[in-house]
Structure 1
Amino acid sequence: MPSLAIDREFLREYPKLDKAVQERVTEAFAKFEQATHTGQHLEKVKNARDNRFRTIRITQFWRGVVLAPETGSTYTLLKVLPHDDAYTWAQRRLASVNAATGRIEIRDVTAIESTLPGLSGIAEMAPARLFDDVNDADLRRLGIDEQTLAFARVLTDPVQLDAARSFLPSGQWDALAGLAAGLSPEEVWAELGDVIYGQRFDPNDLSAAVARSSDRMVLVDGPEELLAIFRHPFALWRIYLHPVQRTTVDAHFRGSARVTGGPGTGKTVVALHRSNHLARLNNGQVLLTTFTSTLTGSLSAGLKLLIESDEIRSRIDVKNVDQLAHQVFREEHGAPRLLDSDEESALWRSVIDRLDLPFSEPFLRQEWRQVVLAQKVTSAQEYLSAKRTGRGRRLGPRQKAQVWQAIWEFEQQLRDGDWWTHETVCVEAERLLEQRTEKPYQHIVVDEAQDLSPSQWRLLRAAVPRQPNDVFLAGDTHQRIYSHLVSLREVGIHVAGRSSRLTVNYRTTAEILSWSLGLLRGEPIDDMDGGLDSIAGCRSEMHGMPPELKEYRNKNAELDGLSTTVRMWLDAGVEPGEIGVAARAKWLVEAAVDALEAVSIPVRSLLGAKAPDDAVAVGTMHRMKGLEFRCLAVIGVSEHQVPPSSAITPLNEDEATHHQDMRRERCLLFVACTRSREQLAVSWHGASSKLLSGLK
């Protein structure tokens, strides 16, 4: 029976089609099996380079381009274009099977042939060519075929290769781009993630090639799945696993392991697929966790898209670390009596007043969290010898004694009143799990690992036995939005020799990524394991419009501008649920919601209860963590608002902490801006934030 595959690039384009055209596409391909069986609707393309291309009628004006196999039964939908454009597109192109990977490739033969003479003329005059130091054998080993090889041999500048990306076979272009960047053929092979040396593929078996091309093609199992894909084409990209990532997902590790990488490189996708892989290994439970409930909701949605089997999904618990801590705590003690932030502040102030201390409440709160709780300090002697990494204010022995006295009294008041904080609940839950011989989980997968505290890491360490594949973490310290400084080794997570890095951004355009990286330029960022992290080499293969930067005279003018921008995106065919708005402060989130509602734009706040997904999402920069949108507006990036003075330790109080706070705020703005896939608008009213210096 015939089956259907869909080019993932078409799924990028599908949301941009008019609603009426989308509906006709769905109708045409829901009946595709029947149409193919009877030979209806599929028409050959005259003067085609490849006689396997067919067109199928969508409307009188629109046609789909389908690749029909000579052997096998898989038909592949490549494009939906206006009638004449569809035929022109098909006439220019050729399908082939990559000799090294066995995957399907599409090339624009007309563009290659028309470009080649001009490049050859330039090459004749050039002193050197781009791939002079790579022999033909190595190029062929990487899947470069004769036509692409001839093209590569006349290239003299990487700019020429970049310009050819739109018409060369994608897998071959990736290999050439790696070589042009200075990688050896062996490094390029490792970067592409393939281990298919020496295997021969039938160049005419397109059905088999499509089946091997999970990086490019989506195989559709019947009309219901087709309808689901067309309903959520944008969501499908959130679980797309590139072949580069497959080896990490399927690897067997002797202990804990991690994957790092810049924004949009697919760390969350790897975490989802890793959870699925581990759940299929045995009947033990897998915990997929992160640091907020917003992110756990996104992870749960991803698993539903990824895993069809209810049995496999039931083996994966998705909950944030605080939920796990409270669950373990309640099983032993019942519900804790929690201090809220204002009550905790009042308690610290009472201690400071009673002891007449020269320390501020924020300083003591952070000393308690970042030193005492982080290192499980329980006595004055332990505190005197504790490391205070990241705590800039130096303390002498007398001052340390005063600080410890304050912390001891604070903790004593917690005990006397049977009060708890989320942190102390976590510490107690860890103690309870340490006592258990039977652990609740066989494997733990952690997403956004950089934002967990040392206490949370110790809780996770106690929730899983020490064994192969016990803890797998995905994160990027450049995206840390809280002040937790963690040494994985000190919390019992050993990943040395079991770390990998992702470098290709699959979410954000090169223009948005490049501009956003400027926010962090020159900032030293730790790697959670005793060294410094780097996102050098992080790149995007997608191109689009540069970020739009706008200044307004006041808040109301900026909100009016936001409404205009969002309306423009909607009018261009972007769905409301594919648009996000980020602000640093909650009050500006609420103002933005009111402004959009006033002009009848469907909108939902990420601050409150769950709202429908088919509305523009407005939230704080913190709430944007782990989310992504086709179009994103970051508003209120004004002086004194980003960052707010309340979030920054004064320079004269603690220089090191001041710089640490500023670095955290840069990372927060960086995170917000890189939530956008295609279009980013950044605005402010009055003077702009100093974080934008040099970027406007």
Structure 2
Amino acid sequence: MDGRDFLTVVEGCAVVAGGSAGARGRRAREEALELARRSREAWEQARRWEAAAEAERRVAATLLTLTADGWRLLVDRRWPGTASANVDMILVGRGGVFVVDVKNWRDAPSVGNGRLSAGGRERDGEVAKMLAMARAVEERTAALGMSPVAVQPLMVFAGHRLDESLGRVRLVGREDVLNVLLAAPKRLNAPMVKAVAAYLGEGFPAYETSALPERPSADPGEAESLFDVEEVEKAALESVLHGPIEQWMTFLHPDQVAIARRDWSGPARISGPAGTGKTVVGLHRAAHIATRTTGPIMYVTYVNNLPRVQGRLFQRMAGHLADRVEFTSLHGWAQRLLTGRGIRVNLDRRQADDAFSRAWLQAGRGSALTEVDPLPHYWEQEIHHVIKGRGLTTLEEYRTVSRYGRRTPLQPAHREAVWLLYEEYELLLRRRDVHDFNDVLLMALDELRERPATPSYAAVIVDEVQDLTLTGVRLLHALAGDGPNGLLLIGDGQQAVYPGGFRLGEAGVGIKGRGAVLRVNYRNAAPILDEALRLVSEDPFDDLDGPTPNGHRTVETTYHDGRVVHAAARSESDHDEHLVKALNARAEEEDALASTAVLCRSRNDVEHYHRLLTRAGLPVLRLDNYDGRPADALKIGTYLRAKGLEFKNVYLPAFNARPTTPGGDPTADERAALTRRQTFVAMTRARDVLWLGTIVPER
């Protein structure tokens, strides 16, 4: 390949850069000329690599052009643990680690029905070898905390034009390889590239006959520097705090990598306080399972908007595996199952709410229930989270059931009155021929017990499991079963934002010896985490396997910069003026609004502040419509809608530091504890700045 040939290639790949058409054209031409010059230098270097075949020299010459931009190329490397096998090339650059296998086939390769062939012959053995090489590199980089998603097997074909994917293996022609490499999302910065390449160089030593020199370093001392794991850790932390998501999704703590890659003999659980990276580990777990199985994978959560965001993150993190993982809410999946099997579902929340209101007038308002709480909301939650949420079908079951998470004691007469209220509610639902959310899960569970789902899922990963009902967990257990690596439950009881609770044993889920706890907070600045923990430190909580005596937890933080802003006002109008002023100041910072959220206790508050901020000229995007794509607008939504999300800056207007209740009122105490947990969740969405607005009227 001479400079003219190479110029044709790079002109095609350089024009993908952003900006206006004219600017793109100028940059493309400049990049093309520079890469063409490098290609001539690289070809002269590759000609001296006498031990290699002609095809490998040509590919090496192409890849060497990237080393001027800081990429590192390791060629003809020993494969540890094998007698004679080698790895053609390992390329480390801003797009991650690429394990390169060069093929010089006379017949053009083709991909069909998940198989690789050429000249009428199946070549799946080559794919298996490629995957084995990639896993060897994964094992080496795991010690750095690098996720397997940053390792890309790349099969490069000399003399053929193609760009295909076969599972996680990318198949490209030599003339197309630069397009692929330059288009890869940026995962590594310069210090990471240097350190990772040095570490892989130690693990995969060069053959003595390999004589392909790397481009001389501009730093005389760089060639002698040895691998330094602290350099990787420092660079990785910097990317977590300031880099794009592709970078902080690339490196995890080694403990997190170990959990994501662990083999479990049955259902397992990942737990840990807020900000410890449970969801990130879950996403990497999904990618890990996808590379080692052929069946579909479900990643499920309770909140409706969260699957859209998680799916978008996974697409950016491991796009080549995106079609293997289904991101869904539990109720959404259950509805699709029932509809697909011809079972009518008439989910109507407004009609169901009205049915309960009428049931309360008929069977609740004048009953013994008013002795405990005269308001209907507590008893509506009792029905949804205890009776229907646990799938109870008889009064005798309800008489004896342990009401986990519900700390208000009920006498037998109260339970009988609740049951009568429940029966009246069910009667009204049937008369209207409508279903509530619990009905959808109960119907789906009955259907799965009659006829399992097809095709079966290779794995079911459940995020925010503490927010599910017992029926929901039973449904997912019926879907995943007890097989190895089948069911993974991720969650933390202290972040439960709905009333009620359960024990995993009641769902038939045994996880003894198959649990992992994360204890290091990677999200929140230390002052923010301290402020949030003070709010719930005296509140016990249920954590699926048993209650905790209090909410105090020892959490190690890695990120100490950040601040909590207390904004006290004398009136609601004064408070709102403070909020608008603070957000206008934030808007003057570059791209600040895209990573800022205003979180509210209720939907009514969301409406109020949405109008306020819109009138102030600030761009606003509701969390109900947020799908994880960058948007230069404030995000606004309820505390519950913010579950599983994080932002650099979080504003909590009308914040009440610690809801208090009159002594001796157990249901009010219970509601206040739930409110504090919900507020704790909202506070811990903040990374750098937490703004707390309070109204303290003048006396």
Q: Which amino acid aligns with 1:618?
A: I
Q: Which amino acid aligns with 1:458?
A: R
Q: SS state of the match for residue 332, structure 2?
A: helix
Which of residues 564, 588, 609 is equivalent to 2:605? 588
Does structure 1 residue 485 correspond to structure 2 residue 505? no
Equivalent-residue separation in structure 2 for 1:38 and 1:216 (angstroms): 36
Equivalent-residue separation in structure 1 for 2:145 and 2:381 (angstroms): 55
Equivalent-residue separation in structure 2 for 1:421 and 1:256 (angstroms): 29
Which of residues 293, 296, 301 is equivalent to 1:290? 301
- Is the 2:275–2:522 contact (alpha carbons within 8 Å) kept by the matching residues of 1? yes
RMSD across aligned positions (CA): 4.4
The alpha carbon displacement at 1:427 in A equals 0.8
**Equivalenced residues, count:** 514
Give the equivalent residue in structure 2 for 1:269: 280
Q: SS state of the match for residue 293, structure 1?
A: coil
Per-residue CA deviations over 1:13-51 (Å, capped at 9, x if unaligned) read: xxxxxx9xxx99x979978967877899xxxxxxxxxxx
The alpha carbon displacement at 1:346 in A equals 2.1
Per-residue CA deviations over 1:26-82 (Å, capped at 9, x if unaligned) read: 979978967877899xxxxxxxxxxxxxxxxxxxxxxxx9979798897878xxxxx
Cα separation, partners in 2 of 1:236 and 1:204, compared to 1, 3 Å: closer
Per-residue CA deviations over 1:381-418 (Å, capped at 9, x if unaligned) read: 22223223444444444443333233223323323432
Name the TM-score, length of structure 1 as normaliser: 0.64
The alpha carbon displacement at 1:612 in A equals 7.3
Q: SS state of the match for residue 382, structure 1?
A: helix
Q: SS state of the match for residue 679, structure 1?
A: strand
Q: Which amino acid aligns with 2:435?
A: W
Equivalent-residue separation in structure 2 for 1:234 and 1:307 (angstroms): 12
Equivalent-residue separation in structure 2 for 1:38 and 1:217 (angstroms): 33
Q: Which amino acid aligns with 1:473?
A: L
Give the equivalent residue in structure 2 for 1:53: none
Equivalent-residue separation in structure 1 for 2:74 and 2:425 (angstroms): 75
Which of residues 454, 457, 460 is equivalent to 1:441? 457
Q: Which amino acid aligns with 2:631?
A: D
Give the equivalent residue in structure 2 for 1:684: 694
Give the equivalent residue in structure 1 for 2:417: 402
User: Once the two structures are aligned, what percentage of the paired residues are identical?
Assistant: 25
Give the equivalent residue in structure 2 for 1:321: 330
Q: SS state of the match for residue 689, structure 2?
A: strand
Q: Which amino acid aligns with 1:506?
A: Y
Q: Which amino acid aligns with 2:420?
A: Q
Q: SS state of the match for residue 415, structure 1?
A: helix
Counterpart mapping for 1:421-440 below 5 A: 421-438=436-453, 440=456
- Is the 2:593–2:633 contact (alpha carbons within 8 Å) kept by the matching residues of 1? yes
The alpha carbon displacement at 1:671 in A equals 1.2
Which of residues 352, 359, 384 is equivalent to 1:369? 384
Cα separation, partners in 2 of 1:281 and 1:403, compared to 1, 3 Å: same
Which of residues 519, 526, 535 is equivalent to 1:519? 535
Equivalent-residue separation in structure 2 for 1:449 and 1:366 (angstroms): 18
- Is the 2:600–2:652 contact (alpha carbons within 8 Å) kept by the matching residues of 1? yes
Cα separation, partners in 2 of 1:668 and 1:579, compared to 1, 3 Å: same
Per-residue CA deviations over 1:581-620 (Å, capped at 9, x if unaligned) read: 1121323323323333333322222246879722111111
Q: SS state of the match for residue 677, structure 1?
A: strand
Q: Which amino acid aligns with 1:575?
A: A
Give the equivalent residue in structure 1 for 2:490: 474
Equivalent-residue separation in structure 1 for 2:584 and 2:343 (angstroms): 52
The alpha carbon displacement at 1:320 in A equals 0.4
Cα separation, partners in 2 of 1:416 and 1:69, compared to 1, 3 Å: closer
Which of residues 432, 438, 453 is equivalent to 2:469? 453
- Is the 2:302–2:468 contact (alpha carbons within 8 Å) kept by the matching residues of 1? yes
Q: Which amino acid aligns with 1:661?
A: R
- Is the 1:579–1:617 contact (alpha carbons within 8 Å) kept by the matching residues of 2? yes
Q: Which amino acid aligns with 2:635?
A: A
Per-residue CA deviations over 1:178-197 (Å, capped at 9, x if unaligned) read: xxxxxxxxxxxxxxxxxx9x
Give the equivalent residue in structure 2 for 1:344: 355
The alpha carbon displacement at 1:465 in A equals 2.6
Q: Which amino acid aligns with 1:548?
A: V
Q: Which amino acid aligns with 2:652?
A: V
Name the TM-score, length of structure 2 as normaliser: 0.64
Cα separation, partners in 2 of 1:216 and 1:284, compared to 1, 3 Å: farther
Cα separation, partners in 2 of 1:305 and 1:385, compared to 1, 3 Å: same
Give the equivalent residue in structure 2 for 1:256: 267
Give the equivalent residue in structure 2 for 1:565: 582
Give the equivalent residue in structure 1 for 2:676: 666
Which of residues 574, 579, 593 is equivalent to 1:576? 593
Equivalent-residue separation in structure 1 for 2:38 and 2:575 (angstroms): 54
Counterpart mapping for 1:45-60 below 5 A: none
Per-residue CA deviations over 1:145-179 (Å, capped at 9, x if unaligned) read: xxxxxxxxxxxxxxxxxxxxxxxx99xxxxxxxxx
Does structure 1 residue 630 correspond to structure 2 residue 640? no
Equivalent-residue separation in structure 2 for 1:335 and 1:27 (angstroms): 56
Q: SS state of the match for residue 317, structure 1?
A: strand
Equivalent-residue separation in structure 2 for 1:403 and 1:629 (angstroms): 41
Equivalent-residue separation in structure 1 for 2:417 and 2:615 (angstroms): 55
Counterpart mapping for 1:143-162 below 5 A: none
Q: SS state of the match for residue 681, structure 1?
A: strand
Q: SS state of the match for residue 472, structure 1?
A: strand
Q: Which amino acid aligns with 1:387?
A: S
Equivalent-residue separation in structure 2 for 1:532 and 1:104 (angstroms): 32
Per-residue CA deviations over 1:115-148 (Å, capped at 9, x if unaligned) read: xxxxxxxxxxxxxxxxxxxxxxxxxxxxxxxxxx
- Is the 1:289–1:319 contact (alpha carbons within 8 Å) kept by the matching residues of 2? yes
Equivalent-residue separation in structure 1 for 2:416 and 2:605 (angstroms): 43
Cα separation, partners in 2 of 1:589 and 1:383, compared to 1, 3 Å: closer
Equivalent-residue separation in structure 1 for 2:634 and 2:545 (angstroms): 39
Which structure 1 residue ranges, 5 or more long, are not aligned? Answer: 2-18, 41-64, 78-98, 106-168, 171-195, 219-228, 689-696
Structure 1 stretch 362-371 or stretch 470-479: which is displaced more?
A: 362-371
Counterpart mapping for 1:14-413 below 5 A: 233-234=244-245, 236-237=247-248, 240-309=251-320, 312-330=321-339, 331-340=341-350, 342-352=353-363, 358-359=369-370, 360=374, 361-413=376-428
- Is the 1:102–1:209 contact (alpha carbons within 8 Å) kept by the matching residues of 2? no
The alpha carbon displacement at 1:367 in A equals 2.8
Per-residue CA deviations over 1:307-338 (Å, capped at 9, x if unaligned) read: 121xx322211110111121223234223252
Equivalent-residue separation in structure 2 for 1:318 and 1:669 (angstroms): 26
Equivalent-residue separation in structure 2 for 1:577 and 1:380 (angstroms): 51
Q: SS state of the match for residue 577, structure 1?
A: helix
Equivalent-residue separation in structure 2 for 1:68 and 1:442 (angstroms): 36
Which structure 2 residue ranges, 5 or more long, are not aligned? Answer: 2-18, 43-67, 76-89, 95-139, 147-190, 193-199, 207-220
The alpha carbon displacement at 1:200 in A equals 11
Equivalent-residue separation in structure 1 for 2:688 and 2:425 (angstroms): 49
Cα separation, partners in 2 of 1:201 and 1:636, compared to 1, 3 Å: farther
Cα separation, partners in 2 of 1:239 and 1:294, compared to 1, 3 Å: farther
Equivalent-residue separation in structure 1 for 2:92 and 2:417 (angstroms): 75
The alpha carbon displacement at 1:628 in A equals 1.2
Per-residue CA deviations over 1:183-225 (Å, capped at 9, x if unaligned) read: xxxxxxxxxxxxx9x989999889995999986668xxxxxxx
Give the equivalent residue in structure 2 for 1:614: 632
Cα separation, partners in 2 of 1:241 and 1:232, compared to 1, 3 Å: same
Q: SS state of the match for residue 536, structure 1?
A: coil
Q: Which amino acid aligns with 1:325?
A: A
The alpha carbon displacement at 1:540 in A equals 1.8
- Is the 2:305–2:624 contact (alpha carbons within 8 Å) kept by the matching residues of 1? no
